A and B are shown apart, each in its own frame.
Chain A
Amino acid sequence: MAQRALAAPDVLAAEERAAQAREARQHRTEHLLQGALFVAIVGGWEASARTGLADPFFFGQPSAIVATIWRWATRGTPQGPLWQHIAVTLEETVLAFAIGVAVGVVAGFALGRNRTLAAVFGPYVRMGNAIPRVILGSIFVIWLGLGMASKVALGVTLTFFIVFFNAFQGVREVDPNLVNNARVLGASPRQLSFDVMLPSALGWITSSLHTSFGFALVGAVVGEFLGATQGLGYLVAAAQGAFNANGVFAAMVILSAVALLADTLVTRLEQRLAPWRPAQRKGF
């Protein structure tokens, strides 16, 4: 191909630069407003606690919450070291997530691919999904005791259904053109399952991972809340029992931080699983 004469190098015109600067200013203002909102809420809370407008005994106090977190982190909670509670909750969450996702994908895929299986098991799966799972937590504590198993079981019942329905739908929604193309190219039914259906459903499955990780965490915490000897949910229950509002809030803050951190990890995992999809722009 003939080398084309180089045109003037691509530089931004003055007005384009001005537009960029405006954009940057806009972003700064947005961040500033974000920060201001936080200060207003937390500051307002603190002020009303200090002036007696809201009784700190019931409503807590931001400074006392931070102090509680600091005390727990440095000197441990009344129920033992903080790190141990976080580790226990995380372990339960990850276990429930892993088991729930694995079983959900396998079951969803099998039912999506096999009409008879879908017809036989479908109604029961829907019935199972209709059970209020949190109540099951009590049963699991009775069956499996106060240890980790009952929390993992509760988490699994929560995550399984989300992943299951997504995997099932993913297999059902595979582009028939792709399937036909694979068949003409010579795919066996097995190759069709694992080389076409599964990767195609992966988009649906990964989009369910965020929600299901959140539910695994809810399962662990609710399980601990219902009866446990360790974990963040147990900390909340203990603080509640002692009428310690700051303790409840402190545990809540820690839990949120853990959830946010876990969410970023799941996002990473998602990108690993589907490198073939264009990077999505986030709304927030």
Chain B
Amino acid sequence: MAVDGGSRLDHGTPAIALERVTKRFRTPGGSVYTAVRDLTLTVARGEFCAIVGPTGSGKSTTLSLISGLEAPSSGRVSVLGEPVAGVTRRAGYMFQTDAIFPWKNVLDNVATGPLYRGVRREEARRRARAWIARVGLAGFEDRYPYQLSGGMRKRVALAQSLINEPEILLMDEPFSALDVQTRTLMENELLDLWSQTSASVVFVTHDLEEAISLADRVVVFTAAPATLKRTYRIDLPRPRNVAEIRFDPRFTRLYEQVWGDLRAEVMIAYERTSRGTVA
């Protein structure tokens, strides 16, 4: 589907709204660490939003807050107009490290979501087979994760999330562990699968190229405590080919703009860690 980046956005209730959200953690040492401070961010329905920021800048924490895995210390989080209380059932979540179940084969891994949500076993398996085919793993249904390559495990994780037909998809550096070629393949496949849904995506990454080539909007976070520094509209046409879009002159221009902002934050974070102090 060749949908223009702008026209598929629905400007009614936002898919995700964070209003002046702060998240503090108690560290094992007893002190308090503020991961996110006063963050206000909205993601429109159907929007692909990428978050970039220096390491340890509360990007993952932001995803946990949206999913309801963590509750904010103050501020409001709402998903599709409803305040988040507990784990929301409308989100899918792809974790940075492998989070598929090692004791389940591919079929049962993908069927997990529907089973948890009360779908009968045969129906869950039928849906799972369809999704396994969609992510290109047909024929691997009875393999266990340890028998799969890193890229294949990511496909399983993707199918496992998407089978629940989430309205928002949260992705925490999902492809960072993959080699460059596999990664580009997976990024294209993600765009293809996403274009067939109306889901909003929040994609956390430290890789600016990945962010620009995938997203409608790139959000730059400051060094911890994270808050929004600036957002950039990425008006590159869709459908995109991630492997080729990097050569587009507009891509280069955007990259330079965003990198200027990101660089300053990366330097701040770097200086802090090299001095051994975490604010």
Asked whether, in the complex, the Cβ of B87 is within 8 Å of the Cβ of A184, the reply is yes
**Residues of B contacting A276 with CB < 8 Å?**
102-105, 144-146
Whole-angstrom distance from the CB of B139 to the nearest CB of chain A?
A: 13
A166-197: contact bitstring with B at CB < 8 Å (1 yes, 0 no)? 00000000010110111111111001000110
Closest to A186 in B: B116
B26 contacts the other chain (CB 8 A): no
Whole-angstrom distance from the CB of A190 to the nearest CB of chain B?
A: 10
A278 contacts the other chain (CB 8 A): yes
Whole-angstrom distance from the CB of B105 to the nearest CB of chain A?
A: 8
B90-109: contact bitstring with A at CB < 8 Å (1 yes, 0 no)? 01110101111111110000
Q: Which of B103, B146, B164 contacts A185 (CB 8 A)?
A: B164
B69 contacts the other chain (CB 8 A): yes
Closest to B87 in A: A183
B11 contacts the other chain (CB 8 A): no
Whole-angstrom distance from the CB of B138 to the nearest CB of chain A?
A: 13
Alpha-carbon gap, A213 to B180, bound state (A): 49
Whole-angstrom distance from the CB of A24 to the nearest CB of chain B?
A: 29
A43 contacts the other chain (CB 8 A): no
A274 contacts the other chain (CB 8 A): yes
A202 contacts the other chain (CB 8 A): yes
Q: Which of A184, A195, A196 contacts B69 (CB 8 A)?
A: A184
**Residues of A contacting B117 with CB < 8 Å?**
186
**Residues of B contacting A182 with CB < 8 Å?**
101, 112, 116
Q: Which of B69, B91, B92, B116 contacts A187 (CB 8 A)?
A: B116
B61 contacts the other chain (CB 8 A): no
Whole-angstrom distance from the CB of B88 to the nearest CB of chain A?
A: 8
Alpha-carbon gap, A200 to B102, bound state (A): 8
Alpha-carbon gap, A184 to B100, bound state (A): 12
Whole-angstrom distance from the CB of A193 to the nearest CB of chain B?
A: 13
Interface of chain A residues 186 through 223 with chain B (CB within 8 A): 186-188, 191, 195-196, 199-200, 202
B122-153: contact bitstring with A at CB < 8 Å (1 yes, 0 no)? 00000000000000000000001110000000
Asked whether, in the complex, the Cβ of B97 is within 8 Å of the Cβ of A200, the reply is no
**Residues of B contacting A183 with CB < 8 Å?**
69, 87
Asked whether, in the complex, the Cβ of B116 is within 8 Å of the Cβ of A188, the reply is yes
**Residues of A contacting B160 with CB < 8 Å?**
181, 185
Whole-angstrom distance from the CB of B40 to the nearest CB of chain A?
A: 24
Given the known A-B contacts A180-B69, A180-B95, A181-B99, are A186 and B104 also in contact in the complex, defined by CB atoms under 8 Å? no
Whole-angstrom distance from the CB of B128 to the nearest CB of chain A?
A: 12
Main secondary structure of the interface of A (DSSP, over half): helix
Asked whether, in the complex, the Cβ of A278 is within 8 Å of the Cβ of B146, the reply is yes
Q: Which of B92, B97, B102, B105 contacts A184 (CB 8 A)?
A: B92
**Residues of A contacting B145 with CB < 8 Å?**
276
Closest to B93 in A: A184
Closest to B92 in A: A184
Asked whether, in the complex, the Cβ of B87 is within 8 Å of the Cβ of A200, the reply is no
A272 contacts the other chain (CB 8 A): no
B58 contacts the other chain (CB 8 A): no
A277 contacts the other chain (CB 8 A): yes
**Residues of A contacting B104 with CB < 8 Å?**
276
Asked whether, in the complex, the Cβ of A191 is within 8 Å of the Cβ of B69, the reply is no
Asked whether, in the complex, the Cβ of B67 is within 8 Å of the Cβ of A274, the reply is no
Closest to A200 in B: B103
**Residues of A contacting B95 with CB < 8 Å?**
177, 180-181
B89 contacts the other chain (CB 8 A): yes
Alpha-carbon gap, A185 to B67, bound state (A): 11
Asked whether, in the complex, the Cβ of B69 is within 8 Å of the Cβ of A177, the reply is no
B53 contacts the other chain (CB 8 A): no
Alpha-carbon gap, A181 to B105, bound state (A): 16
Asked whether, in the complex, the Cβ of B103 is within 8 Å of the Cβ of A186, the reply is no
Asked whether, in the complex, the Cβ of A199 is within 8 Å of the Cβ of B103, the reply is yes
B54 contacts the other chain (CB 8 A): no
Alpha-carbon gap, A202 to B103, bound state (A): 10
Alpha-carbon gap, A202 to B102, bound state (A): 12
**Residues of B contacting A187 with CB < 8 Å?**
116
Alpha-carbon gap, A186 to B101, bound state (A): 14
Q: Which of A186, A196, A202, A277 contacts B164 (CB 8 A)?
A: A186
**Residues of A contacting B103 with CB < 8 Å?**
199-200, 202, 274, 276
29 inter-chain pairs at a CB distance below 8 angstroms, sorted by A residue, are A178-B99, A178-B101, A180-B69, A180-B95, A180-B99, A181-B95, A182-B101, A183-B87, A184-B67, A184-B69, A184-B92, A185-B112, A185-B116, A185-B160, A186-B89, A186-B164, A187-B116, A195-B116, A196-B101, A199-B101, A199-B103, A275-B144, A276-B102, A276-B104, A276-B105, A276-B144, A276-B145, A276-B146, A277-B102
10 cross-chain pairs, A with B, having the tightest CB-CB distances, nearest first: A181-B99, A186-B116, A185-B113, A177-B99, A184-B93, A199-B103, A276-B144, A276-B103, A186-B117, A187-B116
Given A181-B99, A188-B116, A276-B146, 15 new contacts (CB under 8 A): A177-B99, A178-B101, A180-B93, A181-B100, A181-B160, A182-B112, A184-B87, A185-B112, A185-B164, A186-B117, A187-B116, A191-B116, A276-B102, A276-B145, A278-B146
